[in-house]
Amino acid sequence: MLTLFLVSVVVFVATEVLPGNAAFAILGRNASPVRVRALENQLHLNRGLFDQYWTWISGLFEGRLGNSLVNSQSVWSLVEPRLVNSAILVLVTGVIGSFLGVALGAFAALRKDGWFDRISSVVLLAATSLPEFVVAIGLIILLATVVFHVLPGVSLLAPGTYAWSEPQLLILPVATLVIVIVPYTMRMMRAAMIEALESDYVEMAQLKGVPEWRIVLVHALPNAIAPTIQVIGLGFLYLAGGIVIVENVFNFPGIGQGLVEAVNGRDIPTIQFIVVVLAAFYVVMNILTDVIALLATPRRRIAR
Amino acid sequence: MSEVEGRVAQPSPTARREARLEVTGLEVRVGRSGPDVVRDVSFAVQAGQVLGLVGESGSGKTTVALALLGHTRRGLSITAGQVLLDGTDLLALNPRDLRAARGARVSYVPQDPSSALNPTLRVGTQVREALQVHADVVGNAGDAGDAGDRVAEVMREVYLDPTPELLHRYPHQLSGGQQQRIALAMAFACRPSLIVLDEPTTGLDVSTQRHVLETVRGLCRSYGVAAVYVSHDLAVVSGLVSDVAVMYAGRVVEIGSTARLFGEPVHPYTRGLLGAVPSPERAERLTGIDGQQPRPGRRGDGCSFAARCEYAIDACHTEAPELLTVASRSVRCLRARDIPATRPERLPVTGLFVPAETSVLSVRGVAARYGSTPVLSGIDLEVPPHTCVAVVGESGSGKTTLARCVAGLHSNWTGEITFQGTSLTHGARQRDKSVLRRVQYIFQNPYTSLNPRKTVSQIIDQQLQQLTGLSRRERPVRTADVLQDVSLAPDVLSCYPDQLSGGERQRVAIARALAVEPELLICDEVTSSLDVSVQAVIVELLRRIQSERHLALVFITHNLALVRSIAQSAVVLREGVVAESGPVEQILEHPADPYTRRLVEDVPRLTVIGGLR
Amino acid sequence: MPSARPLSRPRHRARRRERASALLTAARTPRGAIGLTMAAVVVLAAVIGPLVAPQPATALVTLAFGKPSGQFWLGGDYLGRDVLSRVLDGGWVLLVMAVCATAIGIAGGALAGVSAAYLRGVSDGIIMRSADVILSFPQVVFALLLLSLLGPKLWLITLTVGVSHAPQVARVLRAATLDVSERDFVRAAELQGMRPGKVMVKEILPNLVSPLMVETGLRLTYSITIFAGLAFLGFGQAPPAATWGTMIYENRIGLSQNPWAVIVPAALIALLTIGINTYTDAFARVAIGADRRPEEAALIGNLGQELGG
């Protein structure tokens, strides 16, 4: 909670205070004094710092986000459809990616040093190193332009429309993000599962004559659950940054693309809002994974 | 024990027709064809009997123990041999049958139950599982009510009260002794023919250890189970087992009845081990064995022990010895017939406790806390000049905290600690360099007390640089002197700690302390992470240095037996208070306090009943 | 009297492999060799590229999206500039920025992480809380936030990315330091009356070299990824200059006419990051003896084990 508060302060200070005067940042150095003053009024820049912060943060909670500086529409009306689109993207990718990552990671751990593990470790190493946009471009080349031409390479959705109106547009962005997060989560899952499988209690279970399937399901898996939850959480956190690049590659109308547009247009209220949303997602996700992981670990849950 | 005498050990496996377990030619290698970890291991155990598998770390005893269940650690494989249990070779079974045999016909008790019990499963579930996976053997234990009865029954056999509360606990909610009893319950649950116990009492206090040992002995007798008991502790083994196999560098070097082996050892290694075992009854100088056990792949062509052996001749380095039958036991030594089958003599320790007027260190009314938890209260302790005072206690008694308060590593204490007449400040940071120099502290674990990124010469040099005014030219001279004093060759100077054995590291730590010519040396469990043969060397080294340099020494230990060989007076701590203090003889022979009395009684003793001559 | 006999050193004990030679050993493993070669090829191209480029990087010399030909091996870009020359010219700035940002991140993170863990108490709280705040922003978002206000200046992008690395480095090093500073040799140094600063530099830091190296490799990869990504979003060097990220962005509309204008810079970036990462992995296997990264080890809570002597 404290972190969230500090985050909002940082965003606020960065956007309102750092450049000396946001009005100049928006209007340029040689803006007329009258226009500067008008804009200062609109942004409440002429008031005290605490006052400004209070106006902004209380507005954030009450849904008064102010108006975009680019086209004077309310920030909420501009960002809301984008938020929904990004949420769909993150959710679909997160679910597919976590499932694949966890399943493949556990499988690699069970067959440690087997052919699947060997091959996947090399592929994973390469895949974790690739920047998102290189993966995206690779997919576009492969599936949407040069080699095959089966999928739309760039979304033609206008900002303000929802992604479910043309679900095929989701395929490439989702595929890209899945390719990016699966190796990441899979490596961690493999490490966590190997840790459990090579433990003394698993050896003890083997020496008790417990069947293989039971060792995996009853002995190893419950001990790998806490790290698994962390892994899934980390996958989602990764997506918060990943969408910024990937949405822009595919021209997907989500908040990542909105952020870049806002930055280009110096649309401060919109930047503030999107950044706070992303940071809040990050913090809440972190807390959530910590709590669930704690509940899944008797040793930490129950004191002696 | 007397029944052992009539049936003098004939370790050649064929001689024992009625043996329940027969191991022949067992060999375990790294990979499939790498160096051997264990080789040519053969022994037999009869129903109701316990065989002790004795050795120090690196001897391969745990590898043998696991191989008895057809199991190896990662990267190892069983490459030869038979493990015949009631006539069937466990190593020849297919995976399915092997799984069925494990836990049912042969079971295992681990060294560290706190990591071998699954932290996410309730202990009741884990005991029940041992029965359920072998439902065909145990009968219809799959039936819930029946299984519950059996769980309660096996729990009672290991003296645990099978209340629902206990069964519903997670392992971390139990004490170490209770955890080990759970492990025992799982091992005995299916009434196996053979139980393998791998140092099951290592982490336990002496009293708990004694109870666990009695439980094991009772269960083996009443159910006619054959058992293999793996241990590094000769005293523990001597009171429990009928036969002993001593392992060194992956081989059995001597095997025979307990009475023969411990009463009249032949193999120089067995003799060395026995000389190293501290005795709570007599004040004797311990004789250890220098050097360290060679690792797999570096064991050479000849006898692996030759490098450390005082009887070694040239042939020992080139010719691998075979098992010979000498004096009613089998010995793997070329010189077996030349070595007298007697227990090695040890010199008595002289120097009794002399009450003195003055004290180097005096601790008065000290109480200490960790956070808000009190760990010590009302501690009084006097260390007279030229005297070694032992501080004895079980884990959790606060003995290490006391040492750390004196050294300045723990600052949350009240009371008064006076050193050479001046009162000591709480933390080391507030003490001046002369106090820091004169009070030296040697840590329990030499594997963490030396910086792994520094050479021995850098480690000692830094100490001299920080605490003495010696010049750049004088320091190496002092370093060389002090290394010689702790019997280390000068070529260790350029070594990093991980190139040294545990014993060598502890000598470096001692050298570091001695280099600044301290007046008070605090030794915190300095031998507890070392093998018994090395422990003896270090204790003897400290004893010699203390008497030569007239040092005041505080010797912290959990091992009451060690006290006799080094200290003149002792303080027994129990749960943060002094239970008893006084001269060592008095405490060990006529303990006044009931707690001390129980502690002294429970110390395992190297008992050899009915020496054969 | 056995204890009086000095012990002799077995001959097979070779001199200790130092850190530098762990780097060499890693380079001799198949993985390390492949990784190092991949990265070296790209670095070489970026460094000597500007010297050997056949055309000026900003000159309009051929057709827009012209097909590869004998004179223009990789064809032309969207304005008709020579793709090969732009590729050769467009790497070195990225490399310099990545190295600088990594240095900032590692130095800042190490300082913060080690002192937080060793000093504990209030400084730990303040340092780690600030780290949490920065960590709440995805790195790209953090960079965008600052760039939006201060303008896309290269030094600023570098600094921003460097600062956004620091908290992650700090976390890993804090965990590692917590483990190291629990060990008795640190207590021994304190008993010598050593000052805290000296303890950290002389006793603790030498034991953190391996995780630091692995972190450096990872941060280098991430820096390249982020810089290329930002350039792709239009926040890099100002337009006429060539950078790989910008080239991909500029030329992707012409993918069907001249794909090489996109494929080559993308492949170079991929080769570089995969190369560095592969070599880092090889180094981790040699130096730490595990195929895990510090962050993965921290996740399952056994970082300390892997650091063990």
Give the residue from chain A lying closest to C292, CA to CA.
A191
pLDDT at C7 over 50: no
Contact across the interface for C138 and A282, Cβ inside 8 Å: yes
**Parallel, antiparallel, or unpaired for β B413-419 and B361-370?**
antiparallel
CA distance C192 to C213: 30
The yes-or-no verdict on residue B140 having pLDDT over 70 is no
Report yes or no on C14 lying in a domain.
Answer: no
pLDDT given at position C119:
87
Kindly report the backbone phi and psi dihedral angles of residue B499, in degrees, each rounded to the nearest multiple of 5, phi listed first.
-95, 0
Say how many domains are in chain C.
Answer: 1
Structure tokens at A178: 């899945």
What angle, 0 to 180 degrees and rounded to 10, lies between the N-to-C axes of helices C139-150 and A268-295?
A: 160
Tokens 């393998």 -> residue: B196
Report whether A76 contacts A69 (CB < 8 A).
no
For the CA atoms of A9, A14, A19, A23, the dihedral, rounded to the nearest 10 degrees, stands at -70
Residues A170, A24 share a domain: no
List of chain B residues whose C-beta atoms are within 8 Å of the C-beta of residue A194:
none
Return the minimum-mean-pLDDT range out of A10-19, A110-119, B357-366, C295-304: C295-304
Beta carbons of A222 and B121 less than 8 Å apart: yes
Q: How far is A94 from chain C (nearest CA, A)?
A: 16
For residue A103, tell me if it sits in a domain: yes
Residues A20, A92, single domain; the answer is: no
Counting runs of H as helices and runs of E as strands, what totals does chain B give? 23, 22
Give the confidence band of B13 by pLDDT, cuts at 50, 70, 90.
very low
Superfamily of domain B361-602 in the CATH hierarchy: P-loop containing nucleotide triphosphate hydrolases (3.40.50.300)
Mean predicted confidence (pLDDT) in B121-129: 91
* Within a domain: C12: no
Domain match, A142 and A266 both: yes
E strands, A193-267, are none
Q: Are residues A45 and A151 in the same domain?
A: no
State whether residue A205 sits within 8 Å of chain B by CB: yes
- A212 lies in some domain: yes
Highest mean pLDDT among B19-23, C73-77, C139-143, C237-241: B19-23
Least confident of A4-8, B82-86, C100-104, C262-266: A4-8
Name the domain count of chain A: 2
pLDDT at A35 over 50: yes
Query: Which chain C residues have a beta carbon less than 8 Å from that of A118?
Result: none
Chains B, C: CB contacts within 8 A come to 97
Q: What is the pLDDT of residue C15?
A: 41
pLDDT, residue A6, reads 72
- Rounded Cα distance, C139 and C226, in Å: 8
Q: Which residues pair with B123 in a beta bridge?
A: none
Determine, yes or no, domain membership for A68: no
**What local confidence, expressed as pLDDT, does residue A155 receive?**
56
Residues A217 and A194 in one domain: yes
Which CATH code fits B16-241?
A: 3.40.50.300
Q: Where in chain B is the domain with CATH 3.40.50.300?
A: 16-241, 361-602
What's the pLDDT score for residue C300? 47
Q: Give the three-class secondary structure for B554.
A: strand
Q: Which of residues 255-274 of C touch A (CB under 8 A)?
A: 255-256, 259, 262-263, 266, 269-270, 273-274
- Please state, as a whole number, how many other Cβ atoms lie within 10 Å of the Cβ of residue A91: 12
Element (H, E) at B186: helix B176-188
Residue A27 within any structural domain of the chain: yes
Please indicate whether residue A165 or residue C210 has the higher confidence score (pLDDT): C210
C36 is a domain residue: no
Chain B contact set for A208 (CB, 8 A):
102-103, 107-108, 129-130, 133, 186
Task: Classify B371 as helix, strand or coil.
Answer: coil
Neighbours of C44 (CB within 10 A): 11
Between the ranges A237-251, B198-212, C95-109, C250-264, where is the mean pLDDT highest? C95-109
pLDDT of residue C266: 84
Confidence tier at B356 by pLDDT (50, 70, 90): confident
- Residues 6+ away with beta carbon under 8 Å from B605: B235, B238, B239, B279, B280, B281, B561
User: CA–CA separation, B420 vs B358, rounded Å?
Assistant: 9
The answer to whether B487 and C6 are in contact (CB under 8 A) is yes
Q: Which two tokens stand for residue C241?
A: 């200059």
Using CA atoms, how far apart are residues A257 and A246, in angstroms rounded to an integer?
A: 9
**A138 in contact with B, Cβ within 8 Å:** no
Residue B553 pLDDT grade (very low, low, confident, very high; cuts 50, 70, 90) = very high
Write the secondary structure of chain C as one string of H (helix), E (strand) and C (coil).
CHHHCCCCCCCCCCCCCCHHHHHHHHHHCHHHHHHHHHHHHHHHHHHHHHHHCCCCCCCECCCCCCCCCCCCCCCECCCCEEHHHHHHHCCHHHHHHHHHHHHHHHHHHHHHHHHHHHHCHHHHHHHHHHHHHHHCCCHHHHHHHHHHHHCCCHHHHHHHHHHHHHHHHHHHHHHHHHHHHCCHHHHHHHHCCCCHHHHHHHHHHHHHHHHHHHHHHHHHHHHHHHHHHHHHCCCCCCCCCCCHHHHHHHHHHHCCCCCHHHHHHHHHHHHHHHHHHHHHHHHHHHHCCCCCCHHHHHHCCCHHHHHCC
Nearest to B1 by CA among B310, B227, B259: B259
Round the average pLDDT of chain B to a whole number and report it. Answer: 86
C195 within some domain: yes
**Residues in chain A closer than 8 A to C269 (CB atoms):** 131, 134
Most C-contacting residue of A129, A139, A234 (CB-CB within 10 A), to test interface: A129
Size of interface A-C (CB pairs under 8 A): 148
What b/e sequence results for B521-548 when a residue is b if at least 16 CB atoms lie within 10 Å of its CB, and e otherwise? bbbbbbbebbbbbbbbbbbbbbbbbbbe
CA distance B439 to chain C (A): 9
What is the structure's pLDDT at C292? 53
Give the nearest chain B residue to A214 (CA atoms): B133
* Domain assignment present for C143: yes
Task: Return the half-sphere exposure (C-beta side, CA atoms, 13 A cut-off) of residue B296.
Answer: 20
Share of chain B above pLDDT 70, in %: 94
Residue C295 belongs to some domain of the structure = no
Whether pLDDT at C104 is above 60: yes
Helix (H, G, I), strand (E, B) or coil at B577: strand
Confidence of residue C250 (pLDDT cuts 50, 70, 90): confident
Which CATH number is C129's domain given?
1.10.3720.10
Helices (H) and strands (E) in chain A, counts: 14, 0
- The pLDDT confidence band at residue B402, using thresholds 50, 70 and 90, is very high
A194 touches chain B (CB under 8 A): no
**Whether residue B371 has pLDDT greater than 60:** yes
CA distance A247 to A250: 5
Mean pLDDT of B280-297: 83
Interface test with C, best of A11, A134, A281 (most C CBs within 10 A): A134
Q: Which residues pair with B88 in a beta bridge?
A: B85
Q: Is the pLDDT of residue B535 over 60?
A: yes
What is the rounded CA–CA span in Å between residue A13 and residue A3?
Answer: 15
Contact status, residue B570 vs residue B280, Cβ threshold 8 Å: no
More confident residue, C306 or B54: B54
| Whole-number pLDDT of residue A205 | 93
Residue A69 lies in a domain: no
**pLDDT for res B83:** 92
Chain C residue numbers with beta carbons less than 8 Å from the beta carbon of A271 are 145, 148
- Does the pLDDT at position B15 exceed 70? no
In what order do the strands lie in the sheet containing B373-383?
B373-383, B361-370, B413-419, B422-423
Candidates B84, B177, B103, B172; CA nearest to B141 is B103
Percent pLDDT > 90 in chain B is 36
Question: What would the mean pLDDT of B208-231 be, rounded to a whole number?
Answer: 88
Q: Which residue has the tokens 């467009």?
A: C90
In a domain, C137, yes or no: yes
| Residue A143, domain CATH | 1.10.3720.10
Q: What is the pLDDT of residue A137?
A: 81
Predicted TM-score of the model (pTM) = 0.82
Judged on CB neighbours under 10 Å (0-12, 13-18, 19+), B118 is: buried
Range of the domain at A13: 2-61
Return the SS3 of A5: helix
Q: Which of B242, B239, B304 is nearest to B268 (CA)?
A: B304
d(CA B116, CA A205): 8
Q: Is position C198 within any domain?
A: yes
Residue C3 has pLDDT above 50, yes or no: no
pLDDT band at A49 (very low <50, low <70, confident <90, very high): low
**d(C-alpha B249, C-alpha B321), whole Å:** 13
